[in-house]
Amino acid sequence: MSDTPRLSLVIPAYNELQSLATLVDEIAAVAEPLAPAAWEIILVDDGSTDGTTALMARLARERPGVKAVLLRRNFGKSAALMAGFREARGEILITMDADLQDDPKEIPAFVEKIEEGFDVVCGWKRKRHDTLERRLASRVFNGVVRKVSGVPLHDSNCGFKAYRRWCVENLELRGNQHRFVAAVLSWRGARIAEIPVVHHERRYGPSKYGVARYFHGAFDLLTLLLLTKFSQNPLYFFALVGLPFVVLGGIIGGYLLTNHIVHLFDEALGFPLTTRPLLIVAVFLLLTGLLMFLIGLIAELVLRSATLGRGYWVREVVARQRPAVADEAAASAHAAETARPKSPDRTRQSFTER
């Protein structure tokens, strides 16, 4: 394998024992003609409990071009993707699910689209092999994401995506934020394309996501707003939420106060402020609105001093040449990252010049 691969396949896996070896074979068969000796597969074990971990380590030791990042426990798909991105060195990064639902034969189409000049290419499972309930929920979710983000994608949650290197540098995905990574990157100026992909039925084991995904999805949309439109000015977001409270509280308070003043001049008119229970409502509304503004101000401060941790912990990185201990690997990854030129434009240029 060459030192700087052209293509990195990043595969997060959580209890995918039966599919992993087949997947690696299928990817290798497609990647080799596409980028001879210049591809790598980064498998990320997200705290599996079914033996995936051992198989992954074995694949990494035995197969050239395959690397395994073993996380200490299950941190979720976003964290697993982040761990994989940090380890990947390719100019083009392609993410795929490990359950064989995504077909490696589609990889050349993703690369072609990136070469056309796009920064992110998203798969669109046009014909999905999921339950009706999942397909309907996905339609609603995608509709709302489209509205909120303004990125016209049919299937923002598709795990099959391709990125130019600059897109994943300085990317921070937590929790379930991988579901709208395209929206976040579009907000950063990435040119986004979509291609329809074949979607197979899950061959082994159950889906890793249950009904809880709908509950999470609703909150994730709020996060999406905060991550895109309001990411640089969280105060605007909180002010927008607080404003109706302040306006309503102000109107009620003003009405009560006017009556009180009128009553002071003429006892037959108006009423004293303290005899109206509505006063409690006005005070409650005003205080809620005020609190929102203050929370917004704190968010602005937090934004300026944000040194959040990375959100996952690696136990071991297994590669054919040199297995490394977790923290050393993290430290060297960090050192490499700080040494690498940060300008996204330079990265992009060096790629397009090829």
Please, which residue, 56 or 227, has the CB nearer to ligand UDP?
A: 56
d(CA 111, CA 259): 71
Asked whether position 76 contacts ligand UDP by CB under 6 A, the answer is yes
Number of residues that bind Mg ion (CB under 5 A): 3
Q: What are phi and psi of 157, to 5 degrees?
A: -90, 0
Nearer to ligand UDP, 209 or 271 (CB): 209
CA-based end-to-end distance of the chain: 19
- Site membership for ligand UDP, residue 233 (CB under 6 A): no
CB of 13 to ligand UDP, least distance (A): 4
Q: How far apart are CA 153 and CA 149, in angstroms?
A: 10
DSSP, collapsed to helix, strand or coil, labels residue 108 as helix
Residues between 100 and 129 that touch ligand UDP (CB under 6 A):
101
99 binds Mg ion (CB under 5 A): yes
Candidates 226, 234, 208; CA nearest to 97 is 208
Q: Is 16 in the site for Mg ion (CB under 5 A)?
A: no
Residue of 209, 215, 219, 255 that binds ligand UDP (CB under 6 A): 209
Considering beta carbons, is residue 97 or 316 the nearer one to Mg ion?
A: 97
Q: In the complex with Mg ion, which residue's Cβ is closer, 156 or 228?
A: 156
For residue 198, the SS3 value is: coil
12 binds, among Mg ion, ligand UDP, none (CB under 5 to 8 A by kind): ligand UDP
Distance CA 146, CA 140 (A): 10
Closest CB 227 distance from ligand UDP, rounded Å: 20
| 56 vs 151, beta carbon nearer ligand UDP | 56
Selected from 7, 8, 10, 12, the binder of ligand UDP by CB under 6 A is: 12
Quickly count helices (H) and strands (E) in the chain. Answer: 12, 9
CB of 42 to ligand UDP, least distance (A): 13
Task: Sort strands 7-13 and 92-95 into parallel, antiparallel or unpaired.
Answer: parallel
The residues pairing with 44 across neighbouring beta strands, listed in sequence order, are 12, 69
Site mask for ligand UDP (CB under 6 A), range 82-101, x = bound: ---------------xxx-x
Among 26, 28, 58, 74, binds ligand UDP (CB under 6 A): 74
Q: How far is CA 25 from CA 30, 66, 219, 248, in A?
A: 9, 11, 38, 63
8 vs 101, beta carbon nearer Mg ion: 101
**Do the Cβ atoms of 7 and 92 come closer than 8 Å?**
yes
The alpha carbon dihedral of 152, 156, 158, 162 has a sign of: positive
User: Does residue 101 belong to the site contacting Mg ion (CB under 5 A)?
Assistant: yes
How many Cα neighbours within 13 Å face the side chain of 36?
A: 1
| Per CB under 5 A, 157 contacts Mg ion | no
> How far apart are the C-alpha atoms of 333 and 243, rounded to whole Å?
45
Give the interface with ligand UDP as residue ranges (CB under 6 A). Answer: 12-14, 16, 46, 74, 76-77, 80, 97-99, 101, 159, 207-209
Give the interface with Mg ion as residue ranges (CB under 5 A). Answer: 97, 99, 101
